[in-house]
Structure 1
Amino acid sequence: MSAIVHPDLAYRHVLVLTGALFLSYLAVAMSLPAVSLYVVNDLNLSNAYGGLAVGIAFLSTIVTRGQAGAFTDKLGGKLVMQRGLVLYAIAGLICLLAGLPQLPVAGRYAVLIAGRLLLGLGESFAMVAMVGWAIGLMGHGRSGQVLSLVGMGMYGAFAAGGPLGLALLDHIGFSGLMMVCTALPLVGLIGIHWLPAVALQAGQREPFWRIIGRIWRAGAAVGLQGVGFAALGAFFALYVMSHGWPYAGLGLTFFGVGFVGMRLLWGHLPDRIGGTRVAAVSLAVEACGQYLLWLAPGPELALVGALLTGLGCSMVFPSMGSEVVKQVPPHLRGTAVGGFAAFQDLAYGATGPVVGVLADYSGYSSVFLIGGLAATLGVWLALGVRRSMAQPQQA
């Protein structure tokens, strides 16, 4: 069933969806440090196995984004998001079984990997479906605002989830933490049950790769944005400590303040003045932050660089995402959003290992030079999206 709702009521509905997304991503974020610690300390396996257990969920997310989008277009955002939250809960239960002492170490690790793979699938379904559902509720013209709320839910969960997960791991153990991670998406599932669905859009289907051909510039721009964030998250603390500076733990804090503050104050800008303009300026600000980190003579300017990176990264995803929504008909929106999000997932997954090799040879500061160059290239791509959209209008 679908319903037409008042804009203010639609906004409140989307806030509920954002809360459910926050809870689901909180389950992801809380498990990130806990999984690697469990593999290394409890199963006595190497760091490589710990890293694989963490990273394989992101791999699962990347490869299933297109399918999640296709299901959203075919079945509707509400049904697919509900399925994604159920998958989250099942994944938590499977990871809970990995804590059973009766199983051998190899069996516990294999069960954990299975749970992490399913977690990535659930994340893919829930996020893509939520975007499609929320844009259907709010309307095409407010897609930038929807994507801003999505980012706030996601990054807010990651900011809170790491410390909370470690605290729960210390107090209730790995199995207790997995029980919490199972319950959180179920709370979200209950919360969204009464929200109205939106009508499915009729239209001819297109192959996934043809849709990617339409949106690749916007996707590449948001992927290049992700390089700076991934570099900062992985190497800021190591960079600061290698110089003997204080405040090594404040990099992501300053990033988060800039990121969330920007979305709270100016999340409406893509819908008002156009996504490509906002994205180009944002990428330029991110580039300045990354270059400042590269050249920082002390910790204070390094923190300013982290703040500028947060300010710059904040609006790129919703800005470019609003342009993606404009480039495809409504019945292909979910598939397009899924493919678009995969570019950012790929950047997050690949940046750490690639720039880590560079850091071994050239020092930690070099990773921020790469982040600055990536953001600078992203400015050019964002402007290219604007030109490509202007040409059909002129014709």
Structure 2
Amino acid sequence: MSTIVTNTAATKSWKLKIASYVCLTFFGYISIGLPLGVLPIFLHKTLGFNEVITGIVISLQYVTTFFIRGYAGTIVDKKGPKVAVYISMVSFAVSGLLFALAIWQQHTPMLSLVTLSVSRLIMGCGEGMIGASPVNWAMLVVGRQHTAEAISYNGIFTYGSLAIGAPLGVYITQFLGLQYIGAFSVLFSLLGLLYAKTKPAVKESSVAADISFIQVLKKVAPYGLGLGLAGIGFGSISNFITLYYDYWNWQNAAYALTVFSAAFITGRFIFSNAINKHGGINVAIFCILTEVVGLGILFMAGNAGLALIGAAISGLGFSLVFPALGVEAVKLLPASRAGVALAAYGLFIDLSLGVTGPFSGTIVNLFGMRSLYAFSAGLVFAGLILLLYLKKKNRVEALAE
């Protein structure tokens, strides 16, 4: 009996430790979530730009994120995650200031567009730095054996901030004005910076043979590609759900982002141990299949209620894809390169989300808004085929050893 109590207390202890570090992700990603429910409409209807331009501007942050991930991983491994967190919070604050300036410039659409583009690029720097730093900070404190849990908890705070941020951004716009989204971004960034200062600076002490980022990228690429294809579903929802609702004259599009994120968080809480029990590949296969079903419902939805169900099922499906495949990817590298491994792996979701904006805009222009989620479901299904191939390949290699 006492052993059970002791084990339970120990489990709670490391779970709380993980949460106390990865909650830093919330302070960063809230800045990403705040404009999601209002920015597409502002670009398309207030400034007057078409769906392709709208998708490109929204996706610009992922361009910077893509290029900075590797550098961020090196900082985490060599200087410690605290430095990367500091850089990210400053970036989010600057992005928020530029966002407010862009809203003030709305009567000069092209100038506003340029300012918004710079804001999104700097936001991408913040996302690139925050993407792997809190989770690595937690792993350094509690041990690499808790990698799956650390990645899962990090995702809970990531999508929790999106679930809160999207509707909060709508309310801020309604009651205060769109420019105040920038002010709140600055506020949350400063709070994150102050909280990070209370945490001890740590870094990996073990030494392993240095591996170039390109070599790391090649190792994690099969799992990263699966993640990237799965991310297209999330990208099409986060970038275009507000315009999809507007096309059908439905109300409260921000709630689709909320239910997506809420289902995502629920999935991580309820099935948090599934990866350890069934293996990363198996869990990812089941999750991607679920995501395809959710996107199919979004495509066929005849009303806002069904669209919410589709968004929720998509979120539930996407919930464990990142940690499931991330565990498999990180295992390929030594502990001293965990930061770079996660950074390289994360590049694929950045690339996915970066491509999804202009891709979705192009699909809408060529085939109409109603076809968007059919195309998204098809590409996510391609990820399922890839994972089935990887599972078969791994089984053959295991038998050959």
Structure-1-length-normalised TM-score: 0.83
Deviation (angstroms), 1:262: 0.9
Runs of 5+ consecutive residues of structure 2 not aligned to the other structure: 1-9
Among candidates 320, 331, 346, match of residue 315 of structure 1: 320
Higher mean C-alpha displacement, 326-335 vs 373-382: 373-382
| Counterpart code for 1:19 | C
Q: In structure 1, what is the equivalent of residue 232 of structure 2?
A: 227
Q: In structure 2, what is the equivalent of residue 63 of structure 1?
A: 67
Q: Distance in 2 between matches of 1:82 and 1:126?
A: 9
Q: Residues 248 and 60 (structure 1 numbering): CA distance in 2 closer, same or farther, change over 3 Å?
A: closer
| Counterpart code for 1:316 | V
Deviations 1:338-392 (A, max 9, x none): 1211211222222232243334444444333322322322223223444555526
Deviations 1:301-331 (A, max 9, x none): 5544333222211111111111111111112
Q: Secondary structure at the match of 2:150?
A: helix
CA contact (8 A) 2:72 2:128 kept: yes
Q: Note the 1:255-334 alignment, pairs <5 A.
A: 255-295=260-300, 302-334=307-339
Deviations 1:181-200 (A, max 9, x none): 11212212222323334442
Q: In structure 1, what is the equivalent of residue 192 of structure 2?
A: 188
Among candidates 353, 356, 362, match of residue 357 of structure 1: 362
Q: Secondary structure at the match of 1:211?
A: helix
Deviations 1:124-161 (A, max 9, x none): 11221112212222322221211111212111212221
| Counterpart code for 2:207 | A
Among candidates 162, 166, 172, match of residue 170 of structure 2: 166
Q: Residues 38 and 370 (structure 1 numbering): CA distance in 2 closer, same or farther, change over 3 Å?
A: closer
Q: Residues 40 and 295 (structure 1 numbering): CA distance in 2 closer, same or farther, change over 3 Å?
A: closer
CA contact (8 A) 1:293 1:305 kept: yes
CA contact (8 A) 2:75 2:83 kept: no
Among candidates 81, 84, 91, match of residue 87 of structure 1: 91
Deviation (angstroms), 1:297: 6.5
Q: Distance in 1 between matches of 2:90 and 2:249?
A: 46
Q: Distance in 2 between matches of 1:53 and 1:353?
A: 9
Q: In structure 2, what is the equivalent of residue 209 of structure 1?
A: 214
| Counterpart code for 2:138 | A
Higher mean C-alpha displacement, 337-346 vs 361-370: 361-370
In percent, how many aligned pairs have the same letter? 27
Deviation (angstroms), 1:63: 1.7
Among candidates 347, 353, 377, match of residue 348 of structure 1: 353
Deviation (angstroms), 1:112: 5.0
Deviation (angstroms), 1:234: 4.5
CA contact (8 A) 2:77 2:203 kept: no
| Counterpart code for 1:290 | L
Structure-2-length-normalised TM-score: 0.82
Deviations 1:188-219 (A, max 9, x none): 22223233344423222222221111111111
CA contact (8 A) 1:77 1:197 kept: yes
The answer to whether structure 1 residue 19 and structure 2 residue 11 are counterparts is no
Q: Residues 106 and 357 (structure 1 numbering): CA distance in 2 closer, same or farther, change over 3 Å?
A: closer
| Counterpart code for 1:150 | N
Q: Secondary structure at the match of 1:181?
A: helix
CA contact (8 A) 1:145 1:271 kept: no
Deviations 1:213-245 (A, max 9, x none): 111111111111112222344555665676678
Q: Distance in 1 between matches of 2:189 and 2:252?
A: 34
Q: Residues 58 and 270 (structure 1 numbering): CA distance in 2 closer, same or farther, change over 3 Å?
A: same
Q: Distance in 1 between matches of 2:125 and 2:100?
A: 17
Deviations 1:71-128 (A, max 9, x none): 2112112222223223323443455566778xx9877765554443222212211221
Q: Distance in 1 between matches of 2:304 and 2:186?
A: 40
Deviation (angstroms), 1:279: 0.3
| Counterpart code for 1:328 | L
| Counterpart code for 2:383 | G
CA contact (8 A) 2:53 2:358 kept: no
Deviation (angstroms), 1:299: 6.1
Deviation (angstroms), 1:56: 2.5
Q: Secondary structure at the match of 2:18?
A: helix
Q: Count residues with an aligned counterpart.
A: 388
- Give the alignment's Cα RMSD to 1 decimal: 3.4
Q: Note the 1:102-141 alignment, pairs <5 A.
A: 113-141=117-145
Higher mean C-alpha displacement, 302-311 vs 240-249: 240-249
The answer to whether structure 1 residue 154 and structure 2 residue 158 are counterparts is yes
Q: Distance in 1 between matches of 2:339 and 2:229?
A: 22
Deviation (angstroms), 1:54: 3.7
Runs of 5+ consecutive residues of structure 1 not aligned to the other structure: 1-5
Q: Secondary structure at the match of 2:207?
A: coil
Q: Distance in 1 between matches of 2:284 and 2:356?
A: 21
Q: Distance in 1 between matches of 2:42 and 2:296?
A: 37
